[in-house]
Every structure is written in structure tokens, then in C-alpha cells.
């Protein structure tokens, strides 16, 4: 399906940095917003699948690039959850209090959970794809003590990305900022329906993490759907993803 029905938009932070995205606007509620994962952008396979589905369903839909990736301004190495959250806040302001269904993948799932606690009146449902709670802290914890200290002292660390993005540079700010969003230590209150899709063959974010989160969270409408044999990218589970999205959309529209 063509994505020609989308139109580009640009939002600007007070510091002049731009956040760029695409919107399919039907002037009906609710609005779906996709949150890509770590180092991903709005041109990923899941993002495009969901945008195509929204057009087929006649839904309003937004996808965007967080600062530091894709078409948006900024340096990737400056990424923090708080910065990504500020980008999402611009999107929500653009939507002018319309009800929103967030779909978050991996880091985007963690971010979507934060957002639902921050703006509970606007965010009416969450669909989380292998949400990567606390993965930043785990990366830091698993480093030898001297490498932990070096990252703090220099405020920069480089490592190779397993998905072929090359060498990544990340500031220690990413780690320091992540502690404030530790949902395993400080369980969130989620008022909206939440569904988590998580593959049993996920080697990057283990399925057990979603169950740990669910056991702690104060979320009366939270369901986990384990997907046997499915990996972190949810390959081969497009039908399940779209069915779950349809179910949540029906509940809030």
C-alpha cells in the first residue's frame, strides 16, 4: 500500500532543534502514535506496517523521528529518555488533547509507559512491543568497574550495534537519566488498558522482564501476550500485532 496519504510535519523545540514526522490525518479520534526503539526511526518495518494499516482503517496516525535519528535534528549520542519524552510532548501538543493510542517498540515501549504516567488524560491505551525496561542500567551494570568509571569520567562510550548500524557513541547522561524511570524499583500507575506483545525467542529483551514489570505495576487492565518462537523484532507476528492494535482501538474509539 502507498503511504502517499501522509503529510510531513516539523515541530521546533525552544533551542531550535527540529522534530520531523509524518501524519495521516482523518480528523477523527483517537490518534495513533508510534514510538520507535533505540537507534530506530520512522522508516522501520513496524513503523511502515502500522502506518499502512492506519490508512487502510481510516485512522489518524503519526510517526516521527526522535532527535538524533532520521530526518530530525540533534546528535544521537545526546539521547536520553527525558529528551525522547520531550520530543513526544511536542507531538502530543500538536494533537491538542485528542485521545492517543501509543504503540511503543523496545525503548519506545519504555518511553510509552513513562508517557502514560505523565499524561494519563490524553494517552488512552498502550500497545507495547517487547518493552525494554531498565536495559540502559543493565548495560552499565554489566560493564567491568574500570569501564563504568571511564564512561562516567569521559561522558562518552563507543560500542558496535548488533543490528548493523555501525559504531554508536553514547554519553553517560543516558545512564544517569535512566535511573529516574526505573519501573522495576518504582512501579508506575497506569490507568489505561495496556497490552504487551513479547516473543519467547527474544534474546535482546527477555520475556521474563515483561512479567517482572507486570507483577510490580499498578495497572488493572494490563495483559501480556507471549509469542512462541518470536524474536525481539517481532518478525512473523504482524497479524498478531495488528489484531491487538484493532482490539485496543475499538475499546477507546
* Whole-number pLDDT of residue 1: 46
C-alpha cell at 236: 512473523
Q: Say what the pLDDT of residue 232 is.
A: 94
Q: Strands of the chain (E only): list them.
A: 7-12, 18-24, 31-35, 60-64, 100-105, 123-129, 157-160, 167-170, 194-199, 222-227
Cβ neighbours for 85, distance < 8 A, ≥ 6 positions apart: 111, 114, 115, 118
Distance CA 39, CA 136 (A): 13
Q: Answer whether 128's CB lies under 8 Å from 104's CB.
A: yes
C-alpha to C-alpha distances, 62 to 17, 148, 203, nearest whole angstrom: 19, 38, 29
Residue 187: in which H helix or E strand, if any?
none
**Short-list 223, 145, 225, 217, CA closest to 188:** 217
Q: What is the pLDDT of residue 167?
A: 82
Predicted pLDDT at 159: 77
In this structure, whether the domain defined by 7-141+180-252 belongs to CATH 3.40.50.1820 is answered with yes
CB atoms under 10 Å from CB of 46, counted, come to: 22
Residue ranges of domains in the chain: 7-141+180-252
- Could you report the average pLDDT of every consecutive run of 10 residues in the chain (253 residues)? 80 98 95 95 96 96 96 95 98 96 97 98 98 94 95 89 71 96 96 98 96 97 97 94 98 94
**Other CB atoms within 10 Å distance of the CB of residue 186:** 10
Let me know: does 34 contact 46? Beta carbons within 8 Å: yes
How is residue 175 written as a grid cell?
Answer: 545512564
Amino acid at each position: 500500500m502507498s503511504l502517499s496519504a501522509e503529510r510531513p510535519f516539523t515541530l521546533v523545540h525552544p533551542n531550535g532543534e527540529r522534530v520531523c514526522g509524518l501524519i495521516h490525518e482523518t480528523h477523527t479520534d483517537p490518534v495513533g502514535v508510534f514510538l520507535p526503539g533505540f537507534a530506530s526511526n520512522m522508516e522501520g518495518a513496524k513503523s511502515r506496517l502500522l502506518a499502512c494499516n492506519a490508512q487502510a482503517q481510516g485512522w489518524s496516525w503519526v510517526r516521527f523521528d526522535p532527535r538524533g535519528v532520521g530526518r530530525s535534528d540533534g546528535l544521537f549520542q545526546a539521547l536520553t529518555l527525558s529528551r525522547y519524552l520531550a520530543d513526544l510532548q511536542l507531538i502530543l501538543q500538536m494533537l491538542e488533547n485528542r485521545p492517543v493510542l501509543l504503540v511503543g517498540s523496545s525503548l519506545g515501549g519504555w518511553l510509552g509507559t513513562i508517557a502514560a504516567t505523565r499524561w494519563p488524560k490524553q494517552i488512552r491505551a498502550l500497545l507495547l512491543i517487547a518493552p525494554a525496561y531498565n536495559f540502559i542500567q543493565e548495560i552499565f551494570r554489566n560493564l567491568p568497574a574500570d569501564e563504568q568509571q571511564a564512561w562516567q569520567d569521559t561522558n562518552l562510550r563507543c560500542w558496535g550495534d548488533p543490528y548493523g548500524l555501525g559504531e554508536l557513541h553514547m554519553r553517560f547522561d543516558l545512564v544517569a537519566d535512566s535511573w529516574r524511570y526505573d519501573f522495576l524499583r518504582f512501579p508506575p500507575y497506569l490507568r489505561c488498558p495496556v497490552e504487551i506483545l513479547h516473543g519467547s525467542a527474544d534474546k535482546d529483551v527477555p520475556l521474563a522482564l515483561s512479567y517482572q514489570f507486570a507483577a510490580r505495576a499498578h495497572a488493572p487492565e494490563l495483559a501480556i501476550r507471549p509469542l512462541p518462537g518470536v524474536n525481539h523484532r517481532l518478525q512473523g507476528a504482524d497479524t498478531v500485532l495488528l489484531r491487538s492494535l484493532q482490539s485496543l482501538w475499538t475499546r477507546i474509539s
